[in-house]
A and B are shown apart, each in its own frame.
Chain A
Amino acid sequence: AQKITQTQPGMFVQEKEAVTLDCTYDTSDPSYGLFWYKQPSSGEMIFLIYQGSYDQQNATEGRYSLNFQKARKSANLVISASQLGDSAMYFCAMRGGFDIPNTGNQFYFGTGTSLTVIP
């Protein structure tokens, strides 16, 4: 079974500071992908960053970076230089089954972390 755990229901960060959102996962798939999505109050799900299980380097996308520790099964999102527009729910997700042809590979989501950026 695949499982994503986000243990921080809510986080606060000062504007311009960095913040780390925690995510741990559990899977028996040898090949999988880890994702972070942002959901602002408008409700849409915005793709932020992706990390493949075989990627040698941690993924970065602008102010977002993913701190991937495979042995610990963690995939924490780091947001640098927080902005007021970063206030939103953040979801960690995982997809597996990449090496099994003709099988489904749905996303498994964590429960999310609500981030509030304080001016």
Chain B
Amino acid sequence: DSGVTQTPKHLITATGQRVTLRCSPRSGDLSVYWYQQSLDQGLQFLIQYYNGEERAKGNILERFSAQQFPDLHSELNLSSLELGDSALYFCASSVESRGREAFFGQGTRLTVV
């Protein structure tokens, strides 16, 4: 158990819909990262938050947004979903922005039908 909790584990939704993925980092970790893993794109970095502030942004679509709350949990919002958004979405956390280790949650498998 990595200590990073992601909910839900599985999500099936229709095109055009909006979903929210939730991540609770390990206790004491201030930094949260979101990644998308699809078969054709591999692991793609989406966004990083550190202690509530956006720290880095990767290949995140405008239809996607994220935030980190005062209790340090994070949510990734995906809207106007398309079939191509079907993927495994990972959250990772680390103790500091430049910490050596990052532990991943078990992921949320999103299927858009």
- Please give the residue numbers on chain A whose beta carbons come within 8 Å of chain B beta carbons, in ascending order: 33, 35, 37, 42-47, 50, 52, 91, 95, 97-98, 102-109, 111-112
User: Taking chain B's interface residues, is the majority helix, strand, or loop, or is none over half, making it mixed?
Assistant: strand
B interface size (C-beta, 8 A): 26
B52 CB, nearest partner CB in chain A, Å: 14
Q: Is the CB of B64 closer than 8 A to any CB of chain A?
A: no
Q: Within 8 Å CB of B100, what residues of A?
A: 33, 50, 52
| Segment from B13-21, B67-75, B104-112 that makes contact with A | B104-112
Give the contacts of B46-99 with A (CB-CB under 8 A): 48, 50, 55-58, 88, 90, 92, 97-98
- Please give the residue numbers on chain B whose beta carbons come within 8 Å of chain A beta carbons, in ascending order: 2, 33, 35, 42-43, 45, 48, 50, 55-58, 88, 90, 92, 97-98, 100-107, 109
Contact across chains for A104 and B48 when beta carbons are under 8 A apart? yes
In the bound assembly, the distance between CA atoms of A100 and B58 in angstroms comes to 18
Partner of B101, one of A47, A104, A105: A47
Partner of A107, one of B2, B50, B102, B105: B102
User: Taking chain A's interface residues, is the majority helix, strand, or loop, or is none over half, making it mixed?
Assistant: loop
Contact across chains for A107 and B106 when beta carbons are under 8 A apart? no
Q: Which 3 A-B pairs have the closest CB atoms?
A: A104-B56, A45-B104, A109-B43
Contact across chains for B98 and A105 when beta carbons are under 8 A apart? yes
Contact across chains for A105 and B45 when beta carbons are under 8 A apart? no
